[in-house]
Amino acid sequence: MAKVRAAVIGGGIIGLAVARELLHRMDSVEVTLFEKESRVAAHQTGHNSGVVHAGLYYPPGSLKARLCRRGVTLLQQYAENKGVAYEECGKVVVAHDSSEVARMDAIFDRAVANGVPGIRKVPGEEIPEIEPHARGVAAVHSPHTAIIDYVAVAKALAADIAAAGGRVLLGREVVGLDSRTAETVVTTRQGSEAFDLVVTCAGLQSDRVALMSGEPRSPRVVPFFGDYFLLEPERSSLVKGLIYPVPDPRYPFLGVHLTKRIDGRIMLGPNAFLAFGREAYDRRGWSASDVMSAVGFPGFWRFAVHNTAAAVREARTVFSTGQFVKEAQKYVPDVRRSDVTRGPRGIRAQAMNADGSLEDDFVITGAGRVVHVRNAPSPGATSSLAIAEHVVTEVIARATA
């Protein structure tokens, strides 16, 4: 029986999970993963907060809701099997004042509909029993929301791929996809190779990679950076788990929250502001072409017109550490400006449509034997193993059609 040649483009946690799932689910398959960086998990996977989301926010029945809940189960089992640290530190979504209670109640209702275990409402006076330094008029408590080291998970997935006979090729940037025949030719700067099946999981470059195979450019990736601050280690006792605000539908991003990392450090953030490059974690990543791609996109300006208030709010936290800390103080008043130091920066691959709307759910497209994961925002890492199941089921259906 002839081997099925499968390629996966992208060495983040989703691409790695897809490659591993292909090897586990398909008979007589050869899997090659292409990653342009010199290591796996170099971008969104390695620059997030490490939260394993329980499924509180997502519309019941959506792909996010279904794959998040399945993903939590798979991820917890995988972490246990691989010896990757996993901690159910719990999460409170805190209503800062009475105007937020109705929205908080709606989150609770969604969580119940999504089957989030152990979810309950907490009156304001009971919040300190869960988070001694947190304050609010009410909260939703999710005791099974967890934290993990996603880079460690990614490395374990890469090891699994190699152990199963797959190839993980680092430093191989894909510059071309030609699927005009029954085969798809993947071209890197080192050469070209033909494959029977291709799955792209290119994250921050997902729209550009999809475009190579003839897919529409929209949804366009518009990069937003998110800065974090770290509490000094001696002040880490201010936060036991995860303390989140109630999302405000007027704003496209959540706002500053407080997050325990798996190493015990406490992060404040992130904010969200237009990045000067899709990989602009510092000045070296600034890219004029990335900026022009964003600001030259009509959808960006339609988005901006309707989100001026959000831009002003986020700009304050970008340019003022004091304002950043004030946002955190709404929920943990004991945090002081002197308690924080600047921490890491992440870049969010925000998929945006030409009308300025944001893609909120996972977006998986493609034609023939090429499948594109176009949009996998939070809870993408949480859902990675479930996304892989979903994508490989689609791939197998196409392969046997």
pLDDT at 343: 96
Q: What is the mean pLDDT of the chain?
A: 96
Distance CA 8, CA 177 (A): 12
Q: Which CATH class is domain 88-145+223-352?
A: alpha beta
Most distant CA pair in the chain: distance in Å? 67
**Which of 302, 277, 304 lies closest to 292 in space, CA to CA?**
277
Helix axes 150-163 and 13-25, enclosed angle (nearest 10): 30
Listed residue (334, 359, 221) closest to 268, CA to CA: 334
pLDDT in tens, 68-94: 999 999 999 999 999 999 999 999 999
* CB distance 66 to 55 below 8 Å: no
Helix, strand, coil percentages (3-state) for the chain, rounded to 5, are: 35, 25, 35
Give the strands of the sheet with 146-148, arranged side by side: 51-52, 146-148, 86-87
Kindly report the backbone phi and psi dihedral angles of residue 160, in degrees, each rounded to the nearest multiple of 5, phi listed first: -60, -40
Give the integer Cα–Cα distance in Å for 248 and 67.
24
Would you call 171 helix, strand, or coil by DSSP?
coil
- 10 Å Cβ neighbour count for 401? 7
Task: Identify the three-state secondary structure at position 319.
Answer: helix
CATH 3.40.190.10 applies to domain 4-46+151-219+360-399: no
Query: Quick one: pLDDT at residue 138?
Result: 98
For residue 1, pLDDT beyond 70? no
What pLDDT is recorded for position 216? Answer: 94
Mean pLDDT of the region 111-127: 98
- Provide the pLDDT for residue 323: 97
What count of Cα atoms within 13 Å lies in the side-chain half-sphere of residue 75? Answer: 37
266: β partners: 260
The band of 146, judged by pLDDT with boundaries at 50, 70 and 90, is very high
Judged against a pLDDT cut of 80, whether residue 400 lies above it is answered with no
3-state secondary structure 213-282: CCCCCCCEEEEEEEEEEEECHHHHHHCCCEEEECCCCCCCCCCCEEEECCCCCEEEECCCEECCCCCCCC
**Residue pLDDT, tens place only, 366-396:** 988 999 999 999 999 999 999 999 999 999 9
Q: Would you say the CATH fold of 88-145+223-352 matches that of 4-46+151-219+360-399?
A: no
Report DSSP state, residue 358: B
Average pLDDT over residues 31-59: 97
Name the 3-class secondary structure at 58: coil
Domain extents in the chain: 4-46+151-219+360-399, 88-145+223-352
Residue 236: half-sphere exposure toward Cβ, Cα within 13 Å: 14
CB count within 10 Å of CB 182 equals 9
